Amino acid sequence: MTPPQFRPTLRLADRTLDLARPALMGVVNANPDSFSDPGHRPIEAILDQVRAMVAEGATVIDVGGQSGITNVPEVDPSEEIDRVGPIVSAIASELPGVVISVDTYKPMVAAAVLAAGAHIINDVSGLRAPELAPLVAEHRAALVVMHTAAPPKTRLQESDLYGNVVDEVRRFLAAKVTEATGAGVHPDSILVDPGPDFTKTPAQTVEVLRHLDELNPDGLPALLAISRKDFIGALTRTRPKERLAGTLAAVAAVGSGTGVVLRVHDVGEVRNFLTVLDVLRSADPVAPDLRLADELRWAAGRPDGTVET
């Protein structure tokens, strides 16, 4: 399967994000009920996490203040702002080279984080709030348009929900992109997201990911949140933190082309995977003096007992 190729740049207010190869989006959760992160932490601890992800290869950081868990109520917008606003401000101040995305669908939250320095609004609601796109346009920021067939925090996975899931996702995304551009969002500042697992069974998610080109005929950049997803767990019978191998397989199949932002939990592992994949796919010569550093040869010191320093 050849990975899809989309437009290799994303326009932001103060820069252009190069997507000639996949950009890695690290995930920072500022909520206490996250699947992956420990929740509330001091700002400096969160900045340390961001610095570590940037060192591992992340160029985009996605900050979220509300979990997608469906059995807990929505967070009040003011509380969500209290959670994510200081993080956005700190990243913008301490790490100005990092592109900041905020996972929210609430206009009040979006307005606050855009004013604090966010570059992307990652809206998992499918533009349910009509005020959201004009806010993004006002700040010349980027917008993620994601497919979903239900309100946020609603679990809906039915085998007969769609007549043709690929066609319905394509038409939904096209309509929402038109809505966003009509509200003033620049066409070069839109990412489309097929919404893996969102109101889709594992089989439906697989079908959607197999047809990304058809879902995005205009070739807009794509956000692919395929890390540790349910469809991987269903195929491999693994829990979220056991899904790295399946995640890497999904990255190779659908997320290793141009014009892609990969939202991932294991930034360093995905970066290393893509590094080797790029070299083996390329016909460019490898530097003849490429060598493995001696300190990387052994798992724990040399066989003769000498410890590396």
Helix (H, G, I), strand (E, B) or coil at 252: helix
Considering the candidates 263, 291, 297, 302, report the single residue annotated as catalytic: 263
Rounded CA separation 59/140 (Å)? 19
Rounded CA separation 161/198 (Å)? 12
Half-sphere exposure of residue 9, counting CA atoms within 13 Å on the CB side?
Answer: 7
According to DSSP, the β-strands at 9-11 and 222-224 are unpaired
Q: Which among 49, 9, 56 is positioned nearest to 29, based on CA atoms?
A: 49
CA distances from 200 to 161, 251, 297 (A): 8, 19, 45
CA 214 remoteness from chain centre: 20
CA distances from 161 to 199, 225, 235, 236 (A): 9, 22, 21, 24
Cβ within 8 Å of residue 103, ≥6 positions away:
62, 63, 64, 65, 66, 122, 124
Rounded CA separation 103/109 (Å)? 10
Query: Catalytic residue at 128?
Result: no
Considering the candidates 210, 229, 243, 281, report the single residue annotated as catalytic: 229
**Phi, psi at 226, each rounded to 5°:** -110, 5
Query: Catalytic residue at 263?
Result: yes
Amino acid at 52: A
Indicate which residues carry an active-site annotation. Answer: 229, 263
